[in-house]
Structure 1
């Protein structure tokens, strides 16, 4: 809340109104004896409205008009306190009017209109430098879904293995015991009755049987 024009002001309030540091105001007070603020208990300064105008006039002479301190002192002696005070009052009034104009200009600024459809439409960018990359080659061996076990060399057809398997498949009677004296006659009888074509077809399978028969005959002859 701003004070009335006739109210006394502290040095900090004068500093704010004149936009001048407090130590500069004390310096001016030491150079211009016409500035006589009221001093209260504790050394506090209270400036009258005329003191405020005089300080504003001194500021105008030194800062705006570019006068030296000696030149401003001479003008004060020649023209008087009222003249310099009137210069200060006019300068403060002009500053207040300028501040008000700036505030009014801010208040009357038009509100930005809503963006047009053209402004909000995103730009369409045509991409022309498209490079088609080849499909990457498969890495590693291709797995086969054929889960059937592969034939090993041991499983391949061997004539001897085939003959042994065929011999096992033939329905061969059990070896007769040594006490059976008619075993040889029965075996030869069975072979004599067998078809010659079948015997020829299974010659490889029968060969081991003949060997066993010969061994059996030899063992019987030795007794």
Structure 2
């Protein structure tokens, strides 16, 4: 799976006041990413890799990795013009997705340069995809910690 953890809406993970490993409800994820809950449920049907935890009453709980995947799906479909089928193929590793979107509003540029303007394809092995997924999740957690540190520093400076 390529670029699946590159968040489109940074506040969804960084500024929601929850710990990085906290579970989020479908309503929270919908608000944080600016999509409707029914869209998230539809994407769960269309993207087999999107599987939030379910509890009693079929209540959905999204992990940080799930939120990152939803943000990437949103980016592919609503910002880069992929079809559902194309986005699914990209996330399955059949396509190499263009550069990730920045995690921080202060840094609106891409995190890395695009592979090619015309979305060149490059197969990606399962091991590489798994490693990339882990790395993306780790970066997201580090960004959350960085934002918490920044907030603490701002608060400390305001108190002086």
- Name the TM-score, length of structure 2 as normaliser: 0.51
Indicate the structure (1 or 2) with the bigger Cα radius of gyration.
1
Structural mapping, 1:19-168, within 5 Å: 19-78=34-93, 87=100, 90-91=101-102, 93-95=103-105
Structure 2: 5+ residue stretches without partners: 1-15, 109-160
- Aligned residue for 2:146? none
Q: How many residues align?
A: 92
Secondary structure at the counterpart of residue 66 of structure 1: coil
SS at match of 1:39: strand
Q: Deviations over 1:35-88 (max 9, x none)?
A: 0100001110000110000010000000110110011011112259xx87x94x
How many angstroms apart in 1 are the aligned matches of 2:32 and 2:104?
A: 13
RMSD between aligned alpha carbons?
2.4
Counterpart of 1:158? none
Partners in 2 of 1:14 and 1:96 — Cα distance? 22
Q: Per the alignment, do residues 70 and 64 of structure 1 end up closer, same or farther by CA in structure 2, a change over 3 Å counting?
A: same
**TM-score computed with the length of structure 1 as normaliser:** 0.37
- Where structure 1 has 5 or more consecutive residues not aligned to the other structure, the ranges are 99-223
The structure where helix makes up a greater share of residues is 1
